[in-house]
Chains A and B, each alone.
Chain A
Amino acid sequence: MEPILPSVLYGFSVSLHPQNLAACFVGVFIGTLIGVLPGIGPVATMSILFPVTYAMSPTASIIMMAGIYYGAMYGGSTTSILANIPGEAASVVTCLDGYQMARQGLAGPALGIAAFGSFIGGTASVLGIMLLGPPLASVALRFGPPEIFGLLVLGFTMVTYLAGASKLKAVAMALLGLFLGTVGLDPLTATPRFTYGSITLMDGLGLVPIIMGLFGITEVLLNVERGVRQEVFKAQIKGLLPTRQQWKESAAPIARGSFLGFFLGILPGIGAIIPTFLSYALEKRISRHPERFGAGAIEGVAAPESANNAATGGSMIPLLTLGIPPNVVMAVLLGAFLVHGIQPGPLLIKEHPEIFWGVITSMYVGNVMLLVLNLPLIGLWVQLLKIPYGVLFPLILLFCIIGVYTVSTNVWDVIVMLAFGGLGYLMKKFEYEPMPLVLAFVLGRLAEESIRQSLLLSRGSVTIFLVHPIAAGFLGAALLVVLLPLVVPRLRTALQMAGALGGT
Chain B
Amino acid sequence: MTPTRERVAAAVLLLFGLAGAVEAARLTVGELRHPGPGFFPFWLAVALSLVSLVLLALPPRRIPATAPAPATPEPPHRARAAATLLAGVAYAFALEPLGFLATTFLFLAVLFGAAQPQRWVVSVALSVTTAVLTYVVFKIWLAVQLPSGPWGF
Contacts and interface: CB of A to CB of B under 8 A. Distances in A.
Nearest to A496: B64
Interface string A166-181: 1011011001101100
Given A194-B23, A227-B77, A398-B108, A217 B85 contact: yes
Contacts of A398: 104, 107-108, 130, 134
Nearest to A171: B51
Nearest to A449: B40
Contact of A391 (B27, B40, B126, B146): B126
Interface of A: 51-52, 55, 165-166, 168-169, 171-172, 175-176, 178-179, 182, 186, 188-189, 191, 193-194, 217, 220-222, 224-227, 388-391, 393-395, 397-398, 401-402, 405-406, 409, 411, 414-415, 418, 421-422, 425, 430-432, 447-448, 451-452, 455-456, 459-462, 500
Contact of B84 (A193, A393, A411, A452): A393
A459 B80 CA distance: 56
A401 B146 contact: no
A110 B95 CA distance: 47
Given A390-B112, A395-B108, A456-B35, 8 more contacts: A172-B51, A179-B41, A179-B44, A194-B23, A224-B80, A393-B111, A395-B130, A460-B34
Given A175-B48, A226-B72, A394-B111, A182 B40 contact: yes
Given A415-B89, A430-B6, A176 B41 contact: no
A290 to B, nearest CB: 19
Interface in B99-130: 104, 107-108, 111-112, 115-116, 126, 130
The 3 A-B residue pairs whose C-beta atoms are closest, nearest first, are: A390-B115, A460-B33, A394-B111
B9 A430 contact: yes
Interface of B: 1, 5-6, 9, 13, 16-17, 20, 23-24, 27-28, 31-41, 44-45, 47-48, 51-52, 54-55, 58, 61, 67, 72, 74, 76-78, 80-81, 84-85, 87-89, 91-93, 95-96, 104, 107-108, 111-112, 115-116, 126, 130, 134, 138, 142-146
Main secondary structure of the interface of B (DSSP, over half): helix
B37 to A, nearest CB: 4
